[in-house]
Structure 1
Amino acid sequence: MTSIERVSVLLVEDDEDDYLLTVDYLEQIPNYQFDVTWLSDYQGVLDQLKQQPVDLCFLDYHLGAHTGLSILEAAKSLKLNTTFIMLTGQSDERLDKEALAHGADDFLLKSEISSPRFNRAILYALSRRDLENERLERYKAEADSRAKDRFMAHLSHELRTPLTSIIGYTELLRDNRQLSNIKPELDIIHNNSQHLLNLLNDVLDLSKINASSLNIEKSPTELGPLIADLQSLFSMETKKKGIALSIVAKGDLPTVIMTDAKRLKQILINLVYNAIKFTPEGKVEVMFKLVQQNHHYCLNVAVQDTGVGIAKEKQKQIFKPFEQLQDTITRTSEGAGLGLAISAALVELFGGKITLESEVGVGSTFCFDIDLDTDIGECQPLSLAASKSDESQLCPLSLKGDVLIVEDLPEIQTLLKNLISNTGAKVACANNGLDAVNLVCSGEQTFDLIFMDLHMPEMGGREAIVTLRKQGINTPIIALTAAAQKDNIDTLLALGFDGIITKPINTELLYQSLEAHLQAKPCTSEKPASSANENATKQRILVVEDDKNTRDLMCLLFDSLGCESHSVSGFSECCALLDNDTAFDTICLDLNLADGSGLTLASEIKARECDANLVIVSGSEPPAEALAKHQIEHVILKPVSLADLKQVI
């Protein structure tokens, strides 16, 4: 059955007979229903078009004081998506051209209303309208897509910046032996931060897939270490759940393959993580096999589990974004339901397809193929020895060289300074590109390596590197960015950057960059001793706090800011220490100590002629009059943050 399309029509005509004739012939056009409004006065027509635009407008040329041309000119200024057809009683070539010049879509004689040309003119006009609507919808969709891309880029930057601080400082705290008593809590913070980062990456990847902007970048990749990483990555999770994880190869595998290691690893992690998540008991097995097809080779991968299984009617559904096995309200497993959808899309980019075999209560097997080159080179049995990246993480670095950090955010600047200083390298900082250019070009200090953020006030990283390269500065410069799309990376490398590290800062990649550009060698776990001059320039901080965890954490944060921190647990210990040593720049006093008040202790400190800046640390705002009485100007409210302590010093 043919559908009927409804078309709204405005007929501007001052002759009733012509109106009736036009309506009569409109009703004879098949497959259309024309809803006709009849008007004849200038202002009424414009008011009608403003209030309710129509699909089609017929304009009589002669309308008393006004003409169809004047109405057409006024109507076109309203920028309507309406088709206009001019009607006149007699042929006039000049009038025809004038009507078309004013924006009419066609010109008809009234005598042609009863002819086939009338039908054709209307059908052509409606077809042009539909094409224009499609063009406008396409333009709107493209504009929306560009707006979404800009939003996603902004979202990525805004979320990665705080995640840099959360993950980076948590890693610093986890590595501090003095905080071993709170390591489980720090692990929770770190794991959840990584989970947030993974969700962010998944959403960004899905956005790129939908925009067809995600590409596969192949390079020579050692297959053994890549597979071995799976074993180390999931060993703790499987041990905690009491299930077995086995990684096996059916036959020899190539030692090196041409592939996108990052994306292949992403597929494997998603599938293995999913298998572990939905396997309450039993095992998860990952099988690799080299398969020859015609004149080329494929790497076949199967991830098999003994988990809950997937009902047949749901097996296609789980490869759709945001779909999960359980109802979102009652589900117990974390995740946004993006892993399988992204994995399926990535496998297609590799030229393959994910297949699934599953039975409820028995388990599931996900399989996919990755195309390899015709010449795969040397093959050997799979070895799950620790990868080089694991070894480099376990081996501390001892570095010689001068490093410049160009970063406008103090917390990230301090994080990088601590990470790099721990290797023994000397570190200087600049707050923006302009300061960096002035410092490097002045020749007062030479640098072996520069880490440079891209988005900074005064001068960004892009402008800064162009300026430095024009001045003949060949120092290796690594870009720090929250955006790691291929086109962005290619642009940065073309500008003269020697490498890119994305935010949040990956410690392993940071150390790899340091190893590549500085003199590096394995060393003992002891930190290099500071020189007397370095100690002399450090601010001396005393923390008076009766809670050990808070005391240790504050000292660690002060140390990360380049200070020399000391601590005591109470009123009496503080007084005893100050009797022998009053050379402190700042003293932080807990308001409620176990053996006295922090305010009273402030008076005791001043009585010992100690000129330190006194700071009260409290869980609530102390009374203003008490602070004034004891001449206390600075108060920090718990929980203490790094930004609070930075302001103190």
Structure 2
Amino acid sequence: MTLADKLAEERRARLAAERLLELKQTELRAANEKLSKHALNLSRRIDETRAEVAHVRDENLKFRTDLDVANEKVELAERRLWHSIQTIRDGFAFFNSDGLLIGANAAYLAAFEGIEEVKPGISYGRIAEILIDEGIVNPDPMTAVEWLGMMLARRHDPKPPPLVLRLWDDTYFRVLEQPGYDGDRVVTSLNITDTVRYEEELKAARYRAEAANRAKSAFLANMSHEIRTPMNGVVGMAELLAETTLTEDQRLYAETIRNSGEALLVIINDVLDYSKIEADKLQLHPEPFDLERSIHDVAMLLQPSVRDKDIRLLVDYDIFLPTRLVGDPGRIRQILTNLAGNAVKFTEKGHVVIRVTGRNDNRTCTIHIAVEDTGIGIPADQIEHIFGEFNQVESEMNRQFEGTGLGLAITHRLIDMMGGTPWVESTEGQGSCFGFHVTLPVASAVEADPASLPQRLKHAMIVDDMPVNRQILERRLAQLGVRVTSCASGHEALAQMDESVDIVLSDHHMPGMDGVVLAETMRAEGWDNTPFVMMSSNPHFDKDQPGRNCVQAVLQKPVSRRDLLQVLSIEAAQEVNAPCADCPAALLRPGGTPCIQMRRQACATNGPPIFGDGCDSPSRPAPVPPLARRMRVLAAEDNRTNQLLFEKMVKDLDIELTFAGNGAEAVEKFASFAPDIVFMDISMPGMDGKEATCRIRALEAQAGTGAHVPIVAVTAHAMEGDARSILDAGLDEYLTKPLRKAQILDRIAGSCPADARAPIAAFEPRTPKARAAL
């Protein structure tokens, strides 16, 4: 090979080596770049990992710090909680699900008085055994075995009831057990020794208070009895004295004695009622009653005071309201007496109106009763306190009026007990209006239709000088479809009289021309066939009064709705040609001769009750044969004054009267005297009235005849519950002293048997069936 070839080959080889070197360098550079990138990534990852490790290291450090702080707080809270538990008087103990004691505070362990066995790890059952064995607990009234069994049963009760433990030193603990998580149980023992002792003190105080209340009730009952017994003689004798022939001064003295006695009885009743209210012993006794009749009874009771003061007492009862309701008639009359009595007492001129309105839904009736007066009124700043206890309006105008200040307080409480609401409106110097509303059930008895009037009665004339009285009658008659002409005087009535007037209703006492003169003048002017009805507050207005023969009927004021409708509704089917002088024949007879006497009593010889048929009525009972025996009356009374009073009250009756001085004597005379009625005093020496009545009822039962003689309790006891205990002893009725003559006469006349002659001419003997219904 030539040198050139060798050189060329070497050159080619060098070039190839250079190219290979360049290629390898290129590959090396690529590898270095790749390695560099990888190293860079690896370095970055290392840095990130280092940062993460540092963060985790920091977080772990922080967590450890927080955990240490939390542990410290928990330990501090536990120490504080346990310190608190240790310092309180109540015991705490913790048991696990196996019933082993985990821990207990010093108050819990103190009951065991240092017994070393009682410590964490002791069982619930063993603790109960120690309590019994060491005499720590007084298990009374249980035995030790019973008590231990009860405690072991509580261990398995998921909700054990609270338990009161009495320790040996009369310390009391209330044990509460509360199940916890996973079967654990927390036991708390609360020291209730002070509470138990306080309750015992309260029981002792309550017993003493009840004993004092019983003593007070007994004192009040005895006081009531002791006062009413002599008051029976005072009021009764004054009433009898007033019926005798007296001079004006003597009559004034007798009336003063009677009125003072009645006033004293009102005070006694107020004090007794207030004592019942204070002791929460006042009770209501609902029964069917006639509300309108009760209102008119109150009005009649107040009539003497009304006549003495020359004012008018009026009753305005809504004609479409029912009268038969269910309530306590005695308490309702008491409310009305308080309200109307106050109105009369504080009214010197004008009138007092008892106004009754309401709403009826057939089953119940909401009654609104208002008592309006034209009296002295009440200052505005004292109205809110008028129903308070012992409150009376203090002013120059009313210092002349007496009273306990309890009447309105008692009234307020009675209305509240009935579910009603009282109210009052007043203007000083012009008058007051006291009222209340109450909802009462309607009695089941069907009442007569009040709107039943003769078709011929279309036009009535009312004559009265008082506008309020005319308004009441106008409204009543207008509701019945009757046209009304109102006149304020007799002269005005004569001027407006014409043929269309079917009846005239006139007041008795009017200025200028009174009712009697008006009736005489009308008859003299030829108005003979127009019935004339006199409305009078004078109970003695009878046939002996001048001009009485010009009047067909007398209505006692205040006029009741029933009496008014009864007068207006009377018609007869046939003419009565010759009525007797005292026969109450029908008022509106078409073409007949009206009877000149129409009074609230029966014809003494052969007439039926008022508003009956004519003298020839076939329905009149046959007269009692003149040879019938006298009625026999037995009165058991140990007080000589009361015997004398009773004897004087019935002296005008056609009866046989005998007295018994005590209960034993009453039983003996019942067997020998065979009375038709017995008046039985309750408080008598030896055998009292209740025991005597029980023995009399036993005698009747032994006889086997079915006879039942009415026995009327006559007593000075007037406390709540006295009536029930007396009636439960077998007595039929209950009369409280002081007695009223009218009450005694009514009971005697109403109990007259069919085989005896009537003790009072105005009463017919009762049939055996009617008597047995007493």
Q: Secondary structure at the match of 1:427?
A: strand
Q: Secondary structure at the match of 1:471?
A: helix
Letter in 1 for 2:710: P
Letter in 2 for 1:414: L
Rate the CA distance shift 1:310–1:181 in 2: closer, same or farther, 3 A: closer
Tell me the SS of whatever aligns to 2:421: coil
* Match status 1:303 vs 2:371: yes
Per the TM alignment, residue 287 of structure 1 is displaced from its structure 2 partner at its CA by: 1.1
- Alignment CA distance shift 1:200-1:95 (3 Å): same
- Kindly provide the CA deviation profile for residues 222-261 of structure 1, in whole angstroms up to 9, marking residues without a partner as x: 3443333344333443444454433223443324333332
Query: Deviation at 1:180?
Result: 5.7
- SS of residue in 1 equivalent to 2:137: helix
Kindly report which structure 2 residues correspond to 1:278-317, keeping only aligned pairs within 5 A, or say none: 278-292=346-360, 296-317=364-385
After TM superposition, give the deviation of residue 327 of structure 1 in Å: 7.3
What is the one-letter code of the residue matched to 1:459?
M
Which residue of structure 1 aligns with residue 414 of structure 2? Answer: 346
Question: In the superposition, relative to structure 1, how do residues 290 and 170 fare at CA in structure 2: closer, same or farther (>3 Å)?
Answer: same
Report the identity percentage: 31
Task: Describe the superposition over 1:37-94 as per-residue Cα deviations: whole angstroms up to 9, x where unpaired.
Answer: xxxxxxxxxxxxxxxxxxxxxxxxxxxxxxxxxxxxxxxxxxxxxxxx9895557742
CA distance in 2, matches of 1:348, 1:330: 28
Deviation at 1:195? Answer: 0.5
Residue 97 of structure 1 corresponds to: 137
Per the alignment, residue 210 of structure 1 pairs with 278
2:272–2:719 CA contact under 8 A, matched in 1: no
Which deviates further from its counterpart, 407-416 or 466-475?
A: 466-475
CA distance in 2, matches of 1:197, 1:209: 18
Structure 1 contact 87–107 (Cα < 8 Å) conserved:
no
Q: Per-residue displacement from partner, 1:572-614 (whole Å, max 9, x unpaired)?
A: xxxxxxxxxxxxxxxxxxxxxxxxxxxxxxxxxxxxxxxxxxx
> What one-letter code is carried by the residue in structure 2 that aligns with 1:303?
V
Q: TM-score, normalised by structure 2?
A: 0.50
Aligned match of 2:634 in 394, 404, 414? 404
Give the Cα separation in 2 of the matches to 1:342 and 1:230: 17
Q: State yes or no: 1:142 paired with 2:232.
A: no
How big is each residue's C-alpha offset from its partner over 1:468-514, in whole Å with a ceiling of 9 and x where there is no partner?
A: 22223643322222224564333333322222222111222211110
Question: Judging changes above 3 Å, is the alpha-carbon distance between structure 1 residues 224 and 487 closer, same or farther for their aligned structure 2 residues?
Answer: same
TM-score, normalised via structure 1 length? 0.59
Greater mean alpha carbon deviation, residues 480-489 or residues 347-356:
480-489
Is the Cα contact below 8 Å between 2:365 and 2:440 reproduced in 1? yes
User: Would the aligned equivalents of 1:221 and 1:261 in 2 still touch at CA under 8 Å?
Assistant: yes
Distance 2:363 2:634 in 1: 52
Which structure features the higher share of strand residues? 1
* In 1: Cα distance, 2:396 partner to 2:404 partner: 9
Question: What letter matches 1:520 in structure 2?
Answer: A
Supply the distance in 2 between the matched residues of 1:421 and 1:347 (Cα, whole angstroms). 42
Give the counterpart of 2:227 among 159, 175, 185: 159
Partner of 1:491: 725
Alignment of 1:254-273 (within 5 A): 254-273=322-341
Match for residue 170 of structure 1 among 202, 213, 238: 238
- SS for the counterpart of 1:497 is coil
The CA deviation at 1:428 is 1.0
Instruction: Give the whole-Å Cα distance in 2 for the aligned partners of 1:394 and 1:254.
Output: 31
Q: What's the offset of the Cα at 1:522?
A: 4.6
CA shift for structure 1 position 304:
1.8
Offset at residue 357 of structure 1 (A): 2.1
Residue 411 of structure 1: CA displacement? 0.8
**2:371–2:433 CA contact under 8 A, matched in 1:** yes
**Is the contact between residue 376 and residue 397 of structure 2 (CA under 8 Å) also seen in structure 1?**
no
Tell me which of 611, 626, 643 is aligned to 1:413. Answer: 643
Answer yes or no: is 1:438 the counterpart of 2:668: yes
Distance change in 2, residues 1:391/1:520 (3 Å): farther
Gapped regions of structure 1 (runs ≥ 5): 1-24, 31-84, 109-116, 525-649
Q: Distance in 2 between matches of 1:154 and 1:105?
A: 46
1:393, distance to aligned residue in structure 2 (A): 13
Task: Please say if residues 255 and 378 of structure 1, whose CA atoms lie closer than 8 Å, have aligned partners that are also in contact.
Answer: no
Q: Secondary structure at the match of 1:245?
A: strand
Give the Cα–Cα distance (whole angstroms) in 2 for the partners of residues 305 and 426 of structure 1: 49
Work out whether 1:425 is the aligned partner of 2:663. no
Are positions 1:523 and 2:761 aligned together? yes
C-alpha displacement of 1:465: 1.7
Aligned residue number for residue 482 of structure 1: 716
What stretches of structure 2 of length at least 5 have no aligned partner? 1-83, 90-109, 117-129, 140-165, 175-185, 451-475, 478-554, 564-598, 606-623, 763-774
**Cα distance change of structure 1 residues 229 and 446 upon mapping to structure 2, 3 Å threshold:** closer
Task: State the AA in 2 paired with 1:413.
Answer: Q
Question: Is 1:305–1:363's contact at 8 Å kept on the other side of the alignment?
Answer: yes
Q: Whose radius of gyration is greater, 1 or 2?
A: 2
Deviation at 1:165, TM superposition (A): 0.8
* Root mean square deviation of aligned Cα: 4.0
The offset of 1:337, in angstroms, is 0.7
Match of 1:323, SS state, is coil
